[in-house]
Amino acid sequence: MSVIHHTTLQPSKLELLASWLPSRPWYRGGTGTPDLAKAGGFRLDDPQGEVGIEFIVVTDTSGPAPATYFVPLTYRGAPLDGAEHALVGTMEHGELGRRWAYDGCHDPVLVAQLSALIEGRVQAQDQNISDTPNLEVTRSYRGDTPLNPTAADDDQEGTSLTAPRGTTLRLHRVLHPSAADAALPAPETAGHLGGVWQLPDGTRTRGLFAALHTAPRA
């Protein structure tokens, strides 16, 4: 199990994201700096204990209407080879020293553990407390083989992780509340990932973080 360090970060995660989010094609804000607040999220464990894996939900209130984003991040003690395009920034950690933060959709460690989560092989962990499962994260998978996504592509609506055999894990980078995230449309959707976050007024809501789609059969 990963250990959560309650220490200083310079710059903070929200400060890093405020600089990085406007560069994303799915960003909904204006031309000014995002005004971010943490709204939820969860963690996953790296089996090797080397990479921090966090899924942060943040809400930006700088635009005409609040927008909530789903941001998978990894934290590494050294640069990830070949992932310069996915670097969110670097931070000075009060206990671990310099950390390189990456868009986790382009980090093979996060992608592997996200696949394991959807398949039901690992459990989501609390974002702030060590060795504590997050029971509000929901998942389903109707397949019988490992997902193993190999490529990540951003567009104006989100991020697609493409797996063999025409399967695509679609991450909803801009989140919307849903009455029941476990109600999956058939037959196109073969799995899902959902969870809970806080709205700007302090109430909590639930929705989809990601949906798994399979290519139609010929």
Spell out the per-residue pLDDT of the chain, length 218, in tens.
Answer: 556 666 678 899 999 999 999 999 999 988 889 999 999 999 999 999 999 999 999 999 998 899 999 999 999 999 999 999 999 999 998 777 899 999 999 999 999 999 999 999 999 999 999 889 999 999 999 888 889 898 899 999 999 999 887 889 999 999 998 755 444 444 557 899 999 999 999 999 999 999 998 876 54
Strand partners, 102: 74, 87
Task: Show Cβ contacts of residue 166 under 8 Å, excluding neighbours closer than 6 positions.
Answer: 214, 215
Q: Are 69 and 173 within 8 A, CB to CB?
A: yes
Residue whose pair of structure tokens reads 């995230």 in the numeric block: 181
The phi-psi region of residue 86 (left if phi > 0; otherwise alpha if psi is between -120 and 50; otherwise beta) is alpha
Does residue 40 fall inside a structural domain? yes
Domain that holds residue 93: 9-213
Q: Record the tokens describing residue 68, joined without a space.
A: 């909530």
Q: Are 53 and 74 within 8 A, CB to CB?
A: yes
Q: Which of 103, 75, 104 is nearest to 91 (CA)?
A: 75
The confidence score (pLDDT) of residue 185 equals 46
**What b/e readout covers 147-186, taking b as 16+ CB neighbours within 10 angstroms?**
bebeebebeeebbbbebeeebbbbbbbebeeeeebeebee
Does residue 2 fall inside a structural domain? no
Does residue 218 fall inside a structural domain? no
Does residue 59 fall inside a structural domain? yes
Q: Parallel, antiparallel, or unpaired for β 189-198 and 138-141?
A: antiparallel
Does residue 4 fall inside a structural domain? no
Does residue 25 fall inside a structural domain? yes
Grouping H, G, I as helix, E, B as strand and the rest as coil, residue 70 is strand
Give the H/E segment covering residue 118.
helix 108-119
- How far is Cα 65 from Cα 82, in angstroms, rounded to an integer? 36
Domain total in the chain: 1
Q: Which of 206, 168, 210 is nearest to 192 (CA)?
A: 210
